[in-house]
Chain A
């Protein structure tokens, strides 16, 4: 194996958090947040680039 794998206790269950963060919903809040952080010229590629950014944060 290339990467060193540490086997640790992993989450058995997830918990929903009640929040009032204005961007917490998907796709509405998520799209609003992307519009705030993406430069205007990049917005046509929002669907693809936003999804990839989520993957980087989730899998990274």
Chain B
């Protein structure tokens, strides 16, 4: 059987073409444009060398803060979602009543539009009339009623907390699938030796979950670095630029006509992801490749 004839190359052309033109080409163009002074205010385009990148790393225009905020967001949400997800997965993987109910409920936030979740929480976290503060005052915990999204010290943590609320159920579900895939014989074998629950977790569950954990971490990191909807809906980067992340900053620069700056920030992420992304994809597709 002639494979080239039976599986013609042009079957793949549609997907590859659309993907290349609208995904890869902008990325590569962006790399080029980040060495120019591209803006809405001038028709001419000048080559400026590494100036844009130097501006970013010398702390000009707060760009560095946005990058650091993005990294902080990514780190905190990844750790929290993985940790909480694992804890819940362990509790919900076997032998408790209403398991399917709990799983179904906790997964729900990850199918809702992120934007809508964000908007909903702006009302819940509203300092004066929001549900959270009304509730806290109602049970006499007035001192806990904070200006969640308004206080400049607290705002970013509130944003991260809402995102953790949204994303933990998804991670939990992946880990549950992973835990259930561990053959029971392993646990039976060590039970004979009188292993404690902690030992079972440490020496069987955790090592066997390595691949699943790696995938969830990769997915969380990808999501975190690209976060936009959640921040845009909750604070739009404010108060000041306290909660500004890379993609919300790029959107603002774009609206102000600062194309070169916007493209430079995007390019930094693009290049970083090209380097790290290969390994991430290897983790995501691990078995597929061996198959």
Partners in one complex: no
A interface, CB within 8 angstroms of B:
none
B residues lining the A interface (CB < 8 Å):
none
